[in-house]
Chain A
Amino acid sequence: MLNKFLTDRLAKILEFMHPWLIKTLGRDRLEYVASNTTNEVTKKLDPFIWTYDCKAKVIAIRQETSDTKTFVLLPNQHFSDPIAGQHIELTAIGPKGDAARCYTLSEITPETVSITVKLNPQGEVSPWLHDQVAVGQVFNISAARGQFVHRDQQQVLFICAGSGITPAFSMINQLLAQPSTDKASEVGLFYRTQSPENTIFSKRLAQLDSLNKQVKVELSYSRLPVDVVTPSFIDQLIAAYPDIKQQHIYLCGPELFRNDVIQYLESINFDMHNLDVEQFTLPELLQDQQSIKKLDEDVTVLLKSQNINFVIPASDCDKTILEAAELQGITMEHGCRSGMCGSCKTNLVSGEVSGQKIGRSIYPCTAYPASNQLVLE
């Protein structure tokens, strides 16, 4: 009885200390301590810290617009520093079992990350986040991944629509936080939404615009009262950023919107090397069941330890996973390359391989892809 009371208390105190622990100790040290103190007792006492999973806890929820909320997350020690523009995959503990979705990080601080989620009533994960999740909720997340990140271009223009604002918002904030010497000289943001009420981060965008000389924000609305005559959004874009051809463009939004913009850029002979388009490569695949690979199919591989994903073209699928990865310029840990030393051994999180394996443990140097998607530890 007393015992239970005490452990409950202790668990509460620990829970209270999470942000402090991560801040003062740092994730790296916390990981070492936690890994060396994991046992049956500690695992029960605080499953957030004493775990080998990458987890995050909701520490604040903000309503952005009527159907959009921002969730501020505190990831545990298994999360490593994200780059603005990257996304995480979140595993919801829904009524129909686990479901995973990717969300771009809208804000990054040293200890926390935020995701900004629009409610999609037909969806599986966003209704859960909106209706069920309260502060304190813990779920599994992946490491931050994605190549949609700023790469030191001087003039950048973000063109986004809807919840596509999230990567732009975190990237702009990151750009502004950089030491003034290597700051991008100009940052433009063209943001298309339905109406002022539906504009995510509207106040903070206005602030960004007025407080920073090098930032120019242009909002564009698709659903204004009928009597207001609006030009097409492309016209508005040109008017706001006449030197668009000199900019490096980051494009993010619904597919139709993206296509319109790309079509326009093609029409003005925009150099497509200066265009980055946000695409989640894995999530669509993750939704449907793993299927056995057909002969002519490419294989998507995710290496969790290195946090990279790559595609093995169908023509390379007769090569070992190690070789195929190297052909893509990716190095995986290895030694003998012939299945003897065990250096390459890793665990299969999902997917199938043929060749040398023990249960879920596989030897990439002597194993071959056998499903169209592989996730390796």
Chain B
Amino acid sequence: MAKTMDQSAQDEEYEKIHQAFEAIKQKHRDDLGEKDVRYIKKIRRNSRIFEVIGRSLIHILPGPFALIGVPFLFLHRNLEAIEIGHNVLHGQYDSFDEIPQFHAQNFRWKAPVDETSWRQEHNAVHHVHTNVYEKDPDLNHGFLRVNSQVPHTRLHYFQVPIYLFLFYPFMLYNFNAQNLGVVDKFRKKYFPEGNKGYAVLDESLRLSKAEGKKRHKRAVRRIWAKEYVLFPLLALLTGFGAIKVFLANLLADVMNSYWIALTIQATHFTEPLQPEDAIKNKGKWYISQLDSSVNFKGNRWQSILWGHLNYQVEHHLFPDIPAHRYPDMALEVQAVCQQYNLPYKSNDSWRAAIKKFVGAMWTYSFKNPEVKDEASFLDKAALLNKAALLNNEALLNKEATNVK
């Protein structure tokens, strides 16, 4: 009896939490309008201005001076990749008829990533099963090991330098390969335990081999054609240095990948693994999102350059609300978390966040790290459970005294 009471009190609590977050979501959905359209258009306009400035400077300035143009080109590519691309592909702007260019179905990325398979991997898997062991592909981009459950191989001893120096510079290309199943094949072939411990693309979602190959090539070549063929060629034809343009574009490409890698790697895998069945209960799901995501602080400008991914908590609670609203939503989310005693995690700076995640990569590069994996909030269910129990006991005591 006590047990069922306990259970129903808990369920009620989950339901309340669910409703509290739903209310925030609904409030912002109702408020969607002109403001959002203006915002995304403005970002696109700025991105284009940066592109023109960047490419012109790189084109015209001689030799090393062309480097002056690189930051501008980087800004363009960065805005297009995350603040525009990532958010648009979440369908955040789908409900505005007047901007078909920002509808998830229409949008074509200026990042070397195939949109369809990315949406599948990111929206439908990562965002649903965040930090779930063997389910969340983002827990192990490539062969990463960030918890002790993943079988250790010799490669993992070197994961910090491999990621920092080899993978992050081309992170976007790696994402694409992962989404299209290339990485699964690699692990299957070279790891003694194959894909054990890693999230594998669901067979039913997997594209046919030929289609996957085609998409992979297409996604990469369209970027290379523009960055490494068209613009160098244009320079050559107009009497400027083609190699210089090639290298400058390469630098912007690498910066873009590195920036995004450092941004997103800092937001999940330092946090506890989540129970697989969280998605079965909406309240629990919200809690698991809170528990598996961590923000880092920055001002509005910085946040745009991070694609508002530094508001990872809000993004994971409300993946399809326009991201520029997250700073406002954060206050409301914090209030709910406080009210229900839920975790709300935030690093004080990007630097702190990077330090923490590189630390985690280092820790788990050893076979038996000294630390123990932290249990998830839901598994502990400490607060809720205790609260329910206490309530019950208090109630029972009261009843007991009444009877007396």
Contact = CB atoms under 8 A, between A and B. Distances in A.
Interface string A20-37: 000000001101100110
Which 3 A/B pairs are nearest by Cβ-Cβ distance? A342-B320, A335-B124, A361-B95
Contacts of B59: none
Interface in B262-313: 279, 282, 285
A219 B341 CA distance: 82
B91 interface: yes
Nearest to A338: B282
Contacts of A178: none
B97 interface: yes
A65 interface: no
A229 interface: no
Contacts of A36: 108, 110
B208 to A, nearest CB: 14
Interface in A351-375: 358-361
Nearest to A356: B29
Contact of A377 (B105, B107, B108): B105
A340 B95 CA distance: 16
B319 interface: yes
B50 to A, nearest CB: 15
Contacts of B106: 35, 52
Contacts of A377: 103, 105
B52 interface: no
Nearest to B91: A345
A338 B284 CA distance: 13
8 contacts: A31-B108, A36-B108, A38-B101, A338-B282, A341-B320, A342-B127, A358-B95, A360-B95
> Which label, helix, strand, loop or mixed, suits the secondary structure of the A interface?
loop
B123 A335 contact: yes
A336 interface: yes
Nearest to A345: B91
B285 A340 contact: yes
Nearest to A361: B95
B182 interface: no
A347 B100 CA distance: 11
Interface string B114-140: 000001100111011000000000000
Contact of B128 (A29, A38, A341, A361): A341
A343 B32 contact: no
Nearest to A359: B95
Contacts of A336: 124, 127-128, 279, 285
A333 interface: yes
Given A335-B125, A359-B95, A361-B94, 9 more contacts: A31-B108, A35-B106, A333-B119, A338-B285, A342-B91, A343-B128, A347-B95, A347-B105, A377-B105
Contacts of B119: 333, 343
Contacts of A346: 94, 105
Contacts of A333: 119-120, 124
A334 interface: yes
A338 B123 CA distance: 13
A345 B29 CA distance: 14
Interface in B362-382: none
Contact of B124 (A39, A334, A338, A359): A334
A305 interface: yes
A29 B214 CA distance: 13
B90 interface: yes
Given A359-B95, A361-B91, A335 B127 contact: yes
Contacts of B95: 347, 358-361
Nearest to A344: B124
Contacts of A341: 123-124, 127-128, 319-320
A334 B125 CA distance: 9
A35 B107 contact: yes
A359 B103 CA distance: 14
A78 to B, nearest CB: 9
Interface string A259-295: 0000000000000000000000000000000000000
Contacts of A38: 101
Interface in A35-69: 35-36, 38-39, 52
